[in-house]
Amino acid sequence: MATATTRIIFAGGGTGGHLYPALAVADELRRRHPGAEVTFVGGRRGLENRLVPAAGYPLRTLALSGIKGAGLLGRIRAAVAAGWAVFRCLVWMLGRRPDLVIGVGGYASGPAVLAASVLGVKTMVMEQNHFPGATNRFLARRVDAVCLPSEAARGRLGGRGIVTGNPVRAAFAAIGNPPGARELSVLVFGGSRGARSLNRAMGEAVSELAKHDPVPRIVHQTGEADRTEVTAAYARHLSRGRFEILSFIDDMPSRFAAADLIVCRAGATTLAELAAAGRPAVLVPYPHAADDHQRLNAEAVEEAGGAVTVLDRELGGARLAALIRELDGDRDRLRRMGRAARTLARPNATGRIAEIAGALLTVKGAGVDEGGADVP
């Protein structure tokens, strides 16, 4: 049991794919160790500025930017900002020394975990993707434990790490069967900021879906940039009661619960949520994901029978509308897909990661065999 002076830091963020798993584990650690002080460190412009305070956790921010796709000047600025962030974390941690720092991916993860490592603080990272990102590939041999979604990810880290699965919020696992009403309920989203190609394709698809009997009911998260345009596209063909356009969805579990079919990207956290909820999906992998990992993720779910994959370059309104209508016409297939998706769930992932974190807290100041790669 953690004491009132036990301090745990979660570092990283930027997107929901990093933050939602971190919040799930933070909630579980707070439940298991009610005396612990849990703090988040993130960027100044990421989704953590919205989600972390709403979840009831304090947030410290760092001025950071990405290197990928940046020019020479941008890379220099990013490197300087990262170095300054490491220094800031060192000063802060010296004054309020944590007992454990958990990197969850995103720009803030590297500086905070590196600073903790320099100070001899116990560290671990949570990798959501089957293809570990560059930051976690760098950190993997410098931390006390690495939590991974699959054996494939472990193999890409040279056999290092513990396969835990991806944690999801408990509310997803509590979701029951789909509504199964006469009208199909469709949830569409492309990540926390939306997906332009998916927004465009659905905007085109509604003209065909409006002819379907019965007309589906659609909830569509667009991101802020495309909301007005997508709303106008829907309004040209569907009555107001048939669709709902949102720039961001705060309560995603309730939206999953109300959906018969989900159309979305294939990020690792999204797939874990689909599995936990047992929802069938049309997956449109993000084409620019590192190592094309979203396509590989989607194909694995499709092979298990839980989804249909449509590549981004092949996505269009006519094809998407035809696929939704086809699935609506075969409800038995939708039910089979949902059951297949649920077989991929790892319902104990959150608890397993919390156990590993707890083991590191109990051995603080002591060594862990081989850097803690196999903490029980």
Per residue in 317-331, pLDDT (tens digit) is 999 999 999 999 999
Neighbouring CB atoms inside 10 A of 305's CB total 17
Residues near 312 by beta carbon (within 8 Å), at least 6 away in sequence: 197, 284, 285, 286, 287
The percent of residues in the chain predicted with pLDDT above 90, rounded, is: 69
- Indicate the pLDDT class of residue 376, thresholds 50, 70 and 90: very low
pLDDT digits (tens, 9 = 90+) for 19-53: 999 999 999 999 999 889 999 999 888 889 999 99
> pTM for the full model?
0.84
Instruction: Kindly state whether residues 181 and 324 are assigned to the same domain.
Output: yes
Domain span holding position 300: 172-342
Q: Which CATH number belongs to the domain containing residue 15 in this structure?
A: 3.40.50.2000
Phi, psi of 176 (to 5 degrees): -90, -155
Tell me if 101 sits within 8 A of 123, measured CB to CB: yes
Query: What pLDDT was estimated at residue 366?
Result: 43
Instruction: Kindly state whether residues 121 and 262 are assigned to the same domain.
Output: no
Instruction: Kindly state whether residues 257 and 182 are assigned to the same domain.
Output: yes
What's the structural domain count of the chain?
Answer: 2
Tell me if 38 sits within 8 A of 57, measured CB to CB: yes
- Residue 169 CA to residue 254 CA, distance in Å, equals 12
Among the residue ranges 26-30, 69-73, 238-242, 247-251, the one predicted with the least confidence is 69-73
Query: What pLDDT was estimated at residue 16?
Result: 85
Is residue 142 in some structural domain? yes
pLDDT(80) > 90: no
Instruction: Kindly state whether residues 148 and 81 are assigned to the same domain.
Output: yes
Tell me if 52 sits within 8 A of 40, measured CB to CB: yes
- Indicate the pLDDT class of residue 9, thresholds 50, 70 and 90: very high
Instruction: Kindly state whether residues 125 and 12 are assigned to the same domain.
Output: yes
Is residue 226 in some structural domain? yes
Instruction: Kindly state whether residues 116 and 147 are assigned to the same domain.
Output: yes
Instruction: Kindly state whether residues 80 and 186 are assigned to the same domain.
Output: no
Instruction: Kindly state whether residues 32 and 156 are assigned to the same domain.
Output: yes
- Residue 375 CA to residue 161 CA, distance in Å, equals 9
Task: Report the candidate in 93, 86, 106, 111 with the shortest Cα–Cα distance to residue 39.
Answer: 93
- Residue 328 CA to residue 235 CA, distance in Å, equals 22
Task: Report the candidate in 189, 194, 251, 175 with the shortest Cα–Cα distance to residue 20.
Answer: 251
Instruction: Kindly state whether residues 333 and 247 are assigned to the same domain.
Output: yes
Is residue 2 in some structural domain? no
Tell me if 356 sits within 8 A of 375, measured CB to CB: yes
Instruction: Kindly state whether residues 242 and 359 are assigned to the same domain.
Output: no
Instruction: Kindly state whether residues 193 and 159 are assigned to the same domain.
Output: no
- Residue 233 CA to residue 363 CA, distance in Å, equals 58
- Residue 277 CA to residue 297 CA, distance in Å, equals 17
pLDDT(368) > 50: no
Is residue 200 in some structural domain? yes
Tell me if 43 sits within 8 A of 52, measured CB to CB: no
Is residue 1 in some structural domain? no
Instruction: Kindly state whether residues 334 and 360 are assigned to the same domain.
Output: no
Per DSSP, the residues of 183-201 read SPEEEEE-STT--HHHHHH
